[in-house]
Amino acid sequence: MTPLPNAWTLDPDTLAEAVALRHELHRCPEVSGAEHETAKRIASRMRTFGAEVATGLGGTGVAAVFGAGDRTLMIRAELDALPILEAEGPEHRSEVDGVGHLCGHDGHMAILFAVASALSRHAPATRVVLLFQPAEETGAGARAVLDDPKFAALRPDMAIALHNLPKLPLGAVALQEGPVACASKGLHVAFTGQTSHAARPENGRSPGLALARLIPALAALSRDVPTEDPRFRLATVTHARLGVPSFGISPGEAELQVTLRTLLNAEMEALEAEARGLIATMGAEFAPVITVHDPFSHSVNAPAATALLESATQGLPRVKGAIPMRPSEDFGLFGTEIPAAMLFLGSGTDHPELHNPDFDFPDALIPIGAEIFLRGIAVFSASKTDKMS
């Protein structure tokens, strides 16, 4: 195992500061695209470590650069929280009504804080970019960062990340080459008919029957195969509305939302085409208008980046069969342009699920995650360019 500089040892004071930062971020969550104060807090902390800091990446993103060299390793965390009301819980619970860090992004940021603290004490033998990405939860953040002209100067040779994963033993690692998280895309469909008196529905055009037929037809596009099967597909109707709540009006409009999910991007194209075909055929009378929301690329771990994380996680307990997971991860888009890999770190077998109102990132994962990334930096620094291409 590649040795770490003594200065990278995560002392109790550093870890206490990282935990304090997580609790601070947890109390003040911000949703995707609105992470202004979160970004200010992160940028301020990174400057105290002497990093070269870029702000406004893809909107509110922050990048902290340490070290120098002709090769760059990027490590990503996320800035955003969720529009979910947090349950009564820890003293550091959210102070923002209806918004909570219920996916663990506060913990991921705290891990990079601990990494930055170590790098400030001993500069890495390569260039390291710590990216705090906006809007992961909507699938918009990675694309915005990649498209930002400021990213060209930061563009890495390799990117790595982690995500906590409940129901795995605390601190256990799930990691593999190939697909690790699904592609997904939301379709919103609006139907327009004509209202009428409820006593004379024949004088209007209600989209009710079309909506009722379309819901099971979309669900039937799913395939009952394991998630790891390249043919996997899932269509989930997440919302449907018909007219307005009334006993006197036959409805004249409706809307439907469906989330499409596949293991790989190529299958997503086919699934979306089939879904659009059903909508166009079954809703033809009501001029359906389709808009796309929250598009996520598949996440596929590249061989070299996976090998780096394999080296960085030596000695940690491993879990098989936990990935690929059905949820999507915005980090996957980086992997379509840069060799990239993500590992999953167990939050505990009894830990609440991601996006649950009682989820709270385990502070015990901060030193584990930070040491993994520091070992990854050491491996990247010691490797030859041709081995990491």
Using CA atoms, how far residue 385 sits from 103, 143, 363, in Å, is 35, 27, 35
Rounded CA separation 256/387 (Å)? 49
Secondary structure tally for the chain: helices H, strands E: 9, 15
- The two three-digit tokens of residue 122, written as one number: 């001993």
Burial bucket for residue 159 (CB in 10 Å: 0-12, 13-18, 19+):
buried
> Per the annotation, does 122 bind a ligand?
no
Rounded CA separation 108/69 (Å)? 26
Rounded CA separation 204/252 (Å)? 7
Phi, psi of 192, rounded to the nearest 5 degrees: -120, 120
> Per the annotation, does 103 bind a ligand?
yes
Rounded CA separation 288/345 (Å)? 43
Rounded CA separation 338/289 (Å)? 35
> Per the annotation, does 293 bind a ligand?
no
Three-state DSSP at 171 gives: coil
> Per the annotation, does 239 bind a ligand?
no
Q: Are 172 and 321 in contact (CB under 8 A)?
A: no
**What's the alpha-carbon Rg for the chain, to the nearest Å?**
23
> Per the annotation, does 23 bind a ligand?
no
Rounded CA separation 245/238 (Å)? 19
The residue to which tokens 């490797």 are assigned: 383
Rounded CA separation 162/342 (Å)? 5
**What is the DSSP secondary structure assignment for residue 385, as one 8-state letter?**
G
Annotated binding site: 103, 105, 137, 163, 355
Annotated binding site for Mn(2+): 103, 105, 137, 163, 355
